[in-house]
Amino acid sequence: MFLFQGNNGTVLYTGDFRLAQGEAARMELLHSGGRVKDIQSVYLDTTFCDPRFYQIPSREECLRGVLELVRSWITRSPYHVVWL
């Protein structure tokens, strides 16, 4: 996510980002003076706003999938590498 603050207000761009319940409360940059900042504009990424994607895997499920994919790749040979 990106939070832009300027003379014309505050804009939140979500990107392809999802929050689990309670995560927003822990994001300090979204708060000021003990309350949520006023946000004038929100740009939502709606890539998955489609009935085919009602079941989106959790972050933990995605992480497990990525780890499995990386493990299967790097065990093929010393020449199969992953750069992060």
SS3 20: coil
Gap between the Cα atoms of 42 and 22, Å rounded: 19
* pLDDT of res. 25: 83
* pLDDT of res. 44: 84
* pLDDT of res. 60: 86
Mean pLDDT (10-residue bins), the chain, 84 residues: 90 79 83 89 83 79 94 96 90
Task: Report the predicted TM-score, pTM, of the whole model to 2 decimal places.
Answer: 0.55
* pLDDT of res. 82: 94
**Alpha helices in 1-84, H assignment, sequence order:** 59-74
* pLDDT of res. 36: 86
Q: Which of 1, 55, 6, 45 is nearest to 23 (CA)?
A: 1
